[in-house]
Amino acid sequence: EAQVTQNPRYLITVTGKKLTVTCSQNMNHEYMSWYRQDPGLGLRQIYYSMNVEVTDKGDVPEGYKVSRKEKRNFPLILESPSPNQTSLYFCASSLEGTSKEQYFGPGTRLTVT
Amino acid sequence: GQNIDQPTEMTATEGAIVQINCTYQTSGFNGLFWYQQHAGEAPTFLSYNVLDGLEEKGRFSSFLSRSKGYSYLLLKELQMKDSASYLCAVHPGGGNKLTFGTGTQLKVEL
């Protein structure tokens, strides 16, 4: 089944404790992206990647890191999480950048206390 | 900066037609998407417009006017399952960012 998977689905952590949210797709898509979704603010793009070893900032990259060492994986890293990073996070992928539909993962609900 | 405006909430009756508007002011334009998101779920793709005009797909249609910075999503023969948030997203060009509006929460009533 074609899909985007994220892990974990739910995470409660404390300020400053490094964490990684994994994202994997099995559709051989070139483009992958991370979003956060907050009430009243909608979906905001954090980082995106056009291909292996090619990443770029979205609209809200501060406090996040990403890497794309393999085509199928695009992990999101929070080196020192803070409470303002409490949010619902979505990973997405598409065949060819932003001219094609994106397929979203199920989401990761992160709480930083 | 990029600005995308959608109404926050709309209510419509089962079986009726509803139009959800989206206006945008962006630094460029390379396409506009509509996504549907049910509560607690991931967004799913509905439509993509890059040229002016109407794209029809079953009960859903999407319209684009680039000169006016305007799009709408038309939902016909509304069903209860259409109750969801509808997200407008613009690719402004000059890279591969995608900017979303805050979404329109549609409630379908009997």
Within an 8 Å CB–CB cutoff, is residue B95 touching chain A? Answer: yes
Q: What is the largest CA-CA distance in chain B?
A: 45
Given a cut of 90, whether residue B96 has pLDDT beyond it is: no
Mutate one of B8, B55, B96 to test the A interface: name it (highest A CB count within 10 A).
B96
Q: What is the pLDDT of residues A52-80, one digit of tens each?
A: 999 999 999 999 999 999 999 999 999 99
| A51 inside 8 A of chain B by CB | no
Give residue-wise pLDDT tens across range B71-91.
999 999 999 999 999 999 999
pLDDT at A98 over 80: no
Q: How far is B14 from chain A (nearest CA, A)?
A: 26
Mutate to test the interface with B, among A33, A43, A94, A104 (most CBs of B within 10 A): A43
Mean pLDDT over B17-29 rounds to 94
Contact A30, A22 (CB under 8 A): no
Q: Is B96 an 8 Å CB contact of chain A?
A: yes
Please, is A18 exposed, middle or buried when counting C-beta atoms within 10 Å of its C-beta (0-12, 13-18, 19+)?
Answer: exposed
CA angle B102, B107, B110 (to 5 degrees): 170
| Interface check A40 vs B, CB under 8 A | yes
Alpha-carbon span A19 to A40, nearest angstrom = 26
Q: Residue B97's pLDDT is what?
A: 86
Judge whether residue B1 has pLDDT over 80: no
Average pLDDT over residues A24-48: 95
DSSP B23-44: EEE-S--S-EEEEEE-TTS--E
Q: Which residues of A touch B96 (CB under 8 A)?
A: 31, 48, 50, 56, 97-98
Residue B44: list chain A partners with CB under 8 A.
104
Q: What is the pLDDT of residues A75-96, one digit of tens each?
A: 999 999 999 999 999 999 999 8
Q: Is the pLDDT of residue B64 over 80?
A: yes
pLDDT at A97: 79
Put simply, whether B98 touches A (Cβ < 8 Å) is yes
**A98, A99, A101, A103, best to mutate vs chain B, most B CBs in 10 Å:** A98
> Is pLDDT of A16 > 90?
yes
Give the pLDDT score at A36. Answer: 98
Checking if the pLDDT of A7 tops 90, the result is yes
Residue in A48, A99, A104 nearest the CB of B43: A104
pLDDT at A39 over 80: yes
pLDDT at B92 over 90: no
Amino acid letter for position A98: T
Structure confidence at residue A94 (pLDDT): 94
Judged against a pLDDT cut of 90, whether residue B27 lies above it is answered with no
Q: Which structure tokens are listed for A56? A: 């770029």
Q: Which residue of chain A is at minimal alpha-carbon distance from B1?
A: A59
Say if residue B95's pLDDT is above 90. Answer: no
Q: Which two tokens stand for residue A65?
A: 């890191």
pLDDT score of A40 more than 80? yes
* Mean pLDDT of all residues belonging to chain B: 94
